[in-house]
Structure 1
Amino acid sequence: MTISVVSKNQLSIIRDLAYQIWPNAYGEILSNEQLEYMLNLIYSIDSLEKQIDNGHTFLLVEDGNQYVGFASYELNYENSNKAKIQKLYVLPQIQGKGIGKKLIDFIKEIAVENKNLSLVLNVNRFNKAKDFYEKYGFEITKEVKIDIGNDYIMDDYVMEFQLK
């Protein structure tokens, strides 16, 4: 298994993985309309390029000759000394094999090297990934409701992990 930084010419891989993973991750939480809206909003190539231009670093996980997951993070999020995990997704059939943990460990190492003091992330309040993050050691610090347009709201927990 290898984790590598994504170049802009690999963004279609991120988009394709999101379209495979999101229906499983959010199918019981979001309507099909909201799911499609959010995928188009967040994972169009144009949107992904803008995210990179705004400081997001994307990572791809390759296992054998197949891409099985991705993440993105932002160091010094909002001029803080915190690194924000913006995205972390693994194909459903590969979950439970430690890939998510390896992605967080990878980001954690970079955050420590860059003198960030904690990792933060948002997770949908009803997403089972919340349990994964709690098991890793993240703690809920607050609840937020984020208007993403088209009369849709993201109902999230903000979680934080203190770096040593």
Structure 2
Amino acid sequence: MVVDMIKIIPANVGQIKIIQKIAQKTWPATFSSILSSKQIDYMLDMMYSDEALQAQITNLNHCFLLAAQDDVYLGFLSYETPYKGEAKTKIHKIYIMPEAQGLGIGKKLMGAVEAIATNKGDKQLLLNVNKHNEAEKFYKYLGFEIIATENIDIGSGFLMEDKVMAKEVNK
């Protein structure tokens, strides 16, 4: 697989099933060592049901980018800009299929969202990462720094324990 042949394309509500398929495959691989299977199932339903994704796209101003090679979808990223009415872009999700990790697809998706943020004149990229998620190393490699921690009650007795990371753009 050659990363130069990977296309980054905007997703629409008609591609919700593709996003769900990637989430269903990546979440257990990503979180099984840090979250219970019950919490993974709860969060997948909460964030990736048809209704949840449709609301994210149509009501919450979340934009999804898909990474694809020859009609094979390898990952996605979702972002929101402006975030909370400020010159910031919030990266809500980024997941790469387990078999495609380490090939530069995540870097390509992050580069695409950084270009979008830069073109809009945003000053900062933001994201949350679980405090035990190995992806934190990837974000640091890309220039993100930890700026805060937060615990988010997501219901049913579950808590997201996150680090908030930021990267300055348009300096």
Deviation at 1:68, TM superposition (A): 0.4
Q: Does 1:94 align with 2:100?
A: yes
Q: What is the match of residue 166 of structure 2?
A: 160
Matches within 5 A, 1:1-164: 1-53=6-58, 54-164=60-170
Tell me the amino acid that sits aligned with residue 142 of structure 1: A
Query: Any idea what SS the aligned residue of 1:78 has?
Result: coil
Query: Any idea what SS the aligned residue of 1:77 has?
Result: coil
Tell me the amino acid that sits aligned with residue 19 of structure 1: Q
| TM-score computed with the length of structure 2 as normaliser | 0.94
Which stretches in structure 1 are left out of the alignment for 5+ residues?
A: none
| TM-score computed with the length of structure 1 as normaliser | 0.98
Superimposed CA distance per residue, residues 43-79 of structure 1 (whole angstroms, 9 cap, x where no aligned partner): 0011001001210001111022310000000011111
Superimposed CA distance per residue, residues 7-53 of structure 1 (whole angstroms, 9 cap, x where no aligned partner): 11110110111000000110101000000000000000110010012
CA distance in 2, matches of 1:163, 1:23: 32
Which stretches in structure 2 are left out of the alignment for 5+ residues?
A: 1-5
CA distance in 1, matches of 2:66, 2:35: 25
Q: Which runs of 4+ in 1 moved over 6 A?
A: none
Q: Please, what is the CA RMSD of the aligned residues? A: 0.7
